[in-house]
Amino acid sequence: MNNWVLICVLLMLMALAYQFGLARSRSVAGQGAARMHSRPGYYGLLVALWCGLPALAVFLLWTLFEPGIIRSVVLNQLPPDLAGLQGNELEVLLRRIEQIASGFGVSDQPAAFELAAAERMRSLQNTGRLAMIASMAVLCVAGLVWTLRRIDPQLRARNQVESVFQALLVISSTIAILTTIGIVLSMVGEALHFFRFVNPAEFFFGTVWNPRFSTTGAADQGQFGLLPLLWGTLMVSIIALLVAVPAGLMTAVYMAEYAPAWLRAVAKPVIEVLAGVPTIVYGFFALITVGPFFSVLGQTVGIDIRATSALTAGVVMGIMIIPFVSSLSDDIITQVPRAMRDGSLGLGATKSETVRKVVLPAALPGIVGAFLLAASRAIGETMIVVLAAGNSPILHANPFEAVSTVTVTIVNQLTGDTDFASPQSLVAFALGLTLFVITLSLNIVALYIVRKYREQYE
Amino acid sequence: MEDTVMRATLVNAEKFVGVANGALKMAARDVRVFYGESEALHGVDLDIYENEVLAFIGPSGCGKSTFLRCLNRMNDTIDGCRVTGRIELDGEDIYDRSLDVVLLRARVGMVFQKPNPFPKSIYENIAYGPRLHGLASGRAELDDIVERSLQRAGLWEEVKDRLEQPGTGLSGGQQQRLCIARAIAVSPEVILMDEPCSALDPIATAKVEQLITELSETYTIVIVTHNMQQAARVSRRTAFFHLGNLVEVDDTTKIFTSPSDGRTEDYITGRFG
Ligand SMILES: Nc1ncnc2c1ncn2[C@@H]1O[C@H](COP(=O)(O)OP(=O)(O)OP(=O)(O)O)[C@@H](O)[C@H]1O
Ligand SMILES: [Mg+2]
Q: What is the pLDDT of residue B10?
A: 38
Residue A390 DSSP symbol: B
Q: Which atom of ligand 1 is nearest to the CA of B69?
A: 18
Kindly state if the Cβ of B112 falls inside 6 Å of ligand 1: no
| Number of DSSP helices (H) and strands (E) in chain B, helices first | 11, 10
Poorest-confidence range of A161-175, A387-401, B13-27? B13-27
Helix H or strand E segment including B215:
helix B202-215
Could you tell me which CATH number the domain at A220-457 has? Answer: 1.10.3720.10
* pLDDT tier, A214 (very low <50, low <70, confident <90, very high otherwise): low
Q: What is the pLDDT of residue A106?
A: 78
Q: How does strand B92-93 pair with strand A223-224?
A: unpaired
Q: What is the pLDDT of residue A9?
A: 92
Kindly state if the Cβ of B125 falls inside 6 Å of ligand 1: no
* pLDDT tier, A455 (very low <50, low <70, confident <90, very high otherwise): low
Give per-residue pLDDT as tens, A266-282: 988 888 888 889 989 99
Helix H or strand E segment including A30:
helix A3-31
Instruction: Decide if A346 touches B, using CB distance below 8 A.
Output: yes
Does residue B27 belong to any structural domain of this protein? yes
Closest ligand to B239 CA?
1
Taking CA–CA distances from A350, the nearest residue in chain B reads B102
* Mean pLDDT, residues B116-132: 93
Tell me the best of B37, B41, B66 to mutate to test the pocket of ligand 1, counting ligand atoms within 8 Å of each CB and taking the most. Answer: B66
Nearest beta carbon to residue A339 from set B72, B114, B182: B114
At a CB cut-off of 8 Å and minimum separation 6, what does B46 contact? B16, B27, B28, B31, B67, B239, B246, B249
Q: What is the pLDDT of residue A297?
A: 92
Nearest beta carbon to residue B74 from set A260, A261, A345: A345
What is the CA(A178)–ligand 2 centre distance, in A? 53
Does the pLDDT at position B178 exceed 90? yes
Residue B197 DSSP symbol: T
What is the CA(B7)–ligand 2 centre distance, in A? 24
Kindly state if the Cβ of B64 falls inside 6 Å of ligand 1: yes
Taking CA–CA distances from A361, the nearest residue in chain B reads B119
Q: What is the pLDDT of residue A33?
A: 66
Does the pLDDT at position B6 exceed 50? no
Kindly state if the Cβ of B242 falls inside 6 Å of ligand 1: no
Sequence spans of domains, chain A:
3-155, 220-457
Question: Using beta carbons and an 8 Å cutoff, which residues of B are at the interface with A?
Answer: 72, 74, 77, 79, 102-106, 109-110, 112, 114, 116-120, 128-129, 132-133, 179, 182-183, 186
Does the pLDDT at position A447 exceed 60? yes
Q: What is the pLDDT of residue A215?
A: 53
Does the pLDDT at position B12 exceed 60? no
Give per-residue pLDDT as tens, B131-165: 999 988 899 999 999 999 999 888 999 999 999 99
Partner-chain contact B132 A340, CB within 8 Å? no
Whether the CB-CB separation of A225 and A205 falls below 8 Å is answered with yes
Does residue B165 belong to any structural domain of this protein? no
Does residue B137 belong to any structural domain of this protein? no
Q: What is the pLDDT of residue B14?
A: 39
In DSSP notation, B92-157 reads: EETT-TTS-HHHHHHHEEEE-SS----SSBHHHHHHHHHHHHT--SSHHHHHHHHHHHHHHTT-HH
With beta carbons under 8 A apart, name residues in chain A contacting B182.
Answer: 343, 347
Specify the higher pLDDT residue, A38 or A15. Answer: A15
Q: What is the pLDDT of residue B13?
A: 38
With beta carbons under 8 A apart, name residues in chain B contacting A346.
Answer: 72, 74, 105, 109-110, 112, 183
* Mean pLDDT, residues B268-273: 74
Does the pLDDT at position B16 exceed 60? no
What is the predicted ipTM?
0.85
CA distances from A370 to A268, A329, A386, A443 (A): 17, 6, 25, 10
Q: What is the pLDDT of residue A58?
A: 93
Does residue B130 belong to any structural domain of this protein? no
Whether the CB-CB separation of B16 and B47 falls below 8 Å is answered with yes
Q: What is the pLDDT of residue A55?
A: 93
In DSSP notation, B154-172 reads: T-HHHHTT-TTSBGGGS-H
Give per-residue pLDDT as tens, B52-87: 999 999 999 999 999 999 999 999 888 889 999 999
With beta carbons under 8 A apart, name residues in chain A contacting B103.
Answer: 348
* pLDDT tier, A39 (very low <50, low <70, confident <90, very high otherwise): confident
Taking CA–CA distances from B110, the nearest residue in chain A reads A346
With beta carbons under 8 A apart, name residues in chain A contacting B133.
Answer: 348
Residue B260's domain comprises 2-118+188-268
Q: In total, how many domains does chain B have? A: 1
Dihedral sign for Cα atoms in the order A329, A330, A334, A340: positive
Residue B233 belongs to domain with CATH number: 3.40.50.300
Alpha-helical (H) ranges within A198-260 are 200-205, 227-253
* pLDDT tier, B2 (very low <50, low <70, confident <90, very high otherwise): very low
Specify the higher pLDDT residue, A123 or A103. Answer: A123
Give per-residue pLDDT as tens, A57-74: 999 999 999 888 988 888
Kindly state if the Cβ of B77 falls inside 6 Å of ligand 1: no
* pLDDT tier, A147 (very low <50, low <70, confident <90, very high otherwise): very high
Question: What is the greatest pairwise CA distance in chain A?
Answer: 96
Does residue B169 belong to any structural domain of this protein? no
Ramachandran sector of residue A346 (left: φ over 0; alpha: ψ -120 to 50; beta: rest)? alpha
Instruction: Decide if A362 touches B, using CB distance below 8 A.
Output: yes
With beta carbons under 8 A apart, name residues in chain A contacting B79.
Answer: 260-261
Give per-residue pLDDT as tens, A357-401: 999 988 888 888 889 889 988 998 888 988 888 888 888 888 888
Nearest beta carbon to residue B79 from set A261, A337, A344: A261
What is the percent of chain B with per-residue pLDDT over 90, rounded to a whole number? 70
Partner-chain contact B112 A347, CB within 8 Å? no
Which amino acid does the sequence have at A19? Q
Partner-chain contact A456 B109, CB within 8 Å? no
Q: What is the pLDDT of residue A321?
A: 92
Closest ligand to B40 CA?
1
Q: What is the pLDDT of residue A93?
A: 82
Chain A residues 312-341 with a CB less than 8 Å from chain B: 337, 339-341
Q: What is the pLDDT of residue A443?
A: 87
Specify the higher pLDDT residue, A219 or A98. Answer: A98
Taking CA–CA distances from A261, the nearest residue in chain B reads B79
User: What is the crossing angle of helices A40-76 and A157-197, to 10°?
Assistant: 40
How many residue contacts between A and B have a Cβ separation below 8 Å?
65
| CA-closest candidate to residue A283, choices A306, A315, A305 | A315
| Alpha-carbon gap, residue B242 to B244, rounded angstroms | 6
Which amino acid does the sequence have at A72? S
Mean confidence (pLDDT) of chain B: 88
What is the percent of chain B with per-residue pLDDT over 70, rounded to a whole number? 92
Q: What is the pLDDT of residue B149?
A: 93
Task: Determine the Cα angle at A294 with ends A291 and A296, to 5°.
Answer: 110
Neighbouring C-beta atoms of residue B163, cutoff 10 Å:
19
Q: What is the pLDDT of residue A394?
A: 85
Kindly state if the Cβ of B27 falls inside 6 Å of ligand 1: no
